[in-house]
Amino acid sequence: MARGTILVTGGAGYIGSHVVLALGERGERVVVLDDLSTGRADAVLHGELVVGDVGDGALVRRLLRTHGIDTVMHFAARTVVPESVADPLKYYRENTCATRSLLEACAAQGVRHFVFSSTAAVYGVPEGGIADEDTPTAPINPYGSSKLMSEWMLRDLAATGALRHVTLRYFNVAGCDPAGRIGQSTPEATLLIKVACEVALGRRPELAVFGTDYPTPDGTGVRDYIHVTDLADAHLRALDHLRAGGASLTLNCGYGRGYSVREVIAAVERAHGAPLPVREAPRRPGDPPMLIARAERIREVLDWRPRHDDLDTIVASALAWERRLAQGAR
Fold of 192-223+256-326: UDP-galactose 4-epimerase; domain 1 (3.90.25)
How far is Cα 124 from Cα 137, in angstroms, rounded to an integer? 7
Which residues have CB under 8 Å from 160's CB, separation 6+? none
**189 — pLDDT class (breaks 50, 70, 90):** confident
Which string of DSSP letters, residue by residue, matches 54-95?
TT-HHHHHHHHHHTTEEEEEE------HHHHHH-HHHHIIII
- The per-residue pLDDT for range 44-61, each reduced to its tens digit, is 999 999 999 999 999 999
Q: What is the pLDDT of residue 2?
A: 60
CATH number for the domain whose boundaries are 5-174+225-253? 3.40.50.720
CATH 3.90.25.10 domain span(s) along the chain: 192-223+256-326
Could you tell me the pTM of the whole model? 0.95
30, 67 in Cβ contact below 8 A?
Answer: no
Which residues have CB under 8 Å from 291's CB, separation 6+? 120, 123, 126, 129, 131, 171, 172, 222, 223, 224, 258
Percent of the chain with pLDDT over 90: 93
174, 194 in Cβ contact below 8 A?
Answer: yes
Q: Residue 72: beta bridge partners?
A: 7, 114
CATH 3.40.50.720 domain span(s) along the chain: 5-174+225-253
- Which positions are catalytic? 143
How far is Cα 277 from Cα 302, in angstroms, rounded to an integer? 42
Q: Residue 7: beta bridge partners?
A: 31, 72
- The per-residue pLDDT for range 10-41, each reduced to its tens digit, is 999 999 999 999 999 999 999 999 999 999 99
